[in-house]
Amino acid sequence: METQFYAGRTRFIGLCHFNMDQVSRILEGCNVKPHFIQLDVNAYSMRHSERYSLVKLGINVIATYSLGNPDLQIDVSPQDSVPGNTVSLSVGRDVRQMLQTS
């Protein structure tokens, strides 16, 4: 990908679903660090420590499955979850409004 980046064929380099050990190994051996990483971040798994570490490294985080992984069966709906209610109350919105705009 670095070759494509230097040739001007792409403007960004990204990673998808890498853990922090893998990201560290990539950063040790690369000339151009990734611009973003796509992670499974949702109301049930916020991954605070990973996101904080990546932001400190200057790598943007893109959330996938922001309402929860469809393959993961959880009995709690996002409307009844504590993170959903906390966020909606802090911005003065209903949980349904928050889910429609995400």
Tell me which residue of 72, 81, 82, 78 sits closest to 40, measured CA to CA.
Answer: 72
pTM of the model: 0.62
Higher pLDDT, 72 or 2: 2
Judged against a pLDDT cut of 70, whether residue 83 lies above it is answered with no
What is the per-residue pLDDT for 65? 74
> Is the Cβ–Cβ distance between 98 and 92 less than 8 Å?
no
The overall average pLDDT reported for the chain is 80
For 44-72, the pLDDT digits (tens) are 778 889 999 999 999 999 988 776 666 66
Tokens 């049930």, residue located: 44
| 58/71 Cα distance (integer angstroms) | 31
Predicted local confidence at residue 32, as pLDDT: 95
